[in-house]
């Protein structure tokens, strides 16, 4: 069962976090195995499955990265049998950032780190500014417009994965000075 359906929520990249948490606690009480210890074995199995579903739904829907991946997966846009190509211009930008990071490994310069961080921030902010409106409006889009929006979100997700690795590396350099 889809986690959004399980919680009775519309599919959204930004669901009401208080409602997600409230549903989790409500279902934690409702499906707690201890409250069904005297039930028939098949009912106990069902309750255990629902309890596990509740835990997994909450872990996924309460975390932006997990929620993003989950929604794309639900629409078969990520995974082994999907086409995951990114624009060559973006790949070149990322390659340049990675080359500069490798250079810093051999010759650390605080000024170069600051310049690299500024370049990274520019790419990151452009990506966020372009995609944030799509993420925020997705829930209210007509069904006919959702496939195109999901393709844009998929592109965002793939780029973000690249950039998050660079961000981690940059953070290690930033800690040096």
Residue recorded with tokens 């499955």: 49
Radius of gyration of the chain (CA): 21
The domain limits of the chain are 3-62, 88-174
pLDDT in tens, 158-167: 999 999 999 9
Whether 10 and 28 have beta carbons less than 8 Å apart is answered as: no
Structural element, H or E, at residue 155: helix 146-174
pTM for the structure as a whole: 0.87
What is the CATH superfamily name and number for domain 3-62?
A: DnaJ domain (1.10.287.110)
The b/e string for 137-151 (b: 16+ C-beta within 10 A; e otherwise) is ebeeeeeeeeeebbe
List pLDDT tens digits, range 84-108. 888 899 999 889 988 988 888 888 7
Q: How far apart are CA 64 and CA 136, in angstroms?
A: 12
């Amino acid at each position: 069962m889809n986690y959004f359906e399980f919680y009775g929520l519309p599919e959204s990249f930004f669901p009401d976090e208080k409602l997600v948490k409230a549903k989790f606690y409500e279902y934690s009480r409702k499906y707690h195995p201890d409250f069904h210890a005297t039930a028939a074995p098949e009912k106990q199995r069902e309750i255990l499955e629902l309890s596990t579903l509740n835990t997994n739904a909450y872990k996924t829907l309460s975390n932006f990265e997990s929620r993003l991946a989950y929604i794309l997966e639900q629409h078969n846009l990520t995974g082994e049998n999907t086409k995951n190509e990114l624009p060559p211009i973006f790949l070149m930008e990322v390659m340049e950032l990675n080359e500069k990071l490798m250079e810093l490994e051999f010759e650390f310069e605080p000024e170069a780190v600051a310049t690299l961080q500024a370049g990274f921030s520019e790419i990151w902010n452009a990506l966020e500014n372009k995609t944030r409106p799509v993420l925020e409006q997705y829930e209210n889009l007509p069904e006919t417009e959702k496939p195109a929006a999901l393709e844009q979100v998929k592109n965002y997700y793939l780029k973000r994965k690249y950039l998050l690795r660079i961000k981690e590396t940059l953070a290690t350099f930033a800690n040096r000075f």
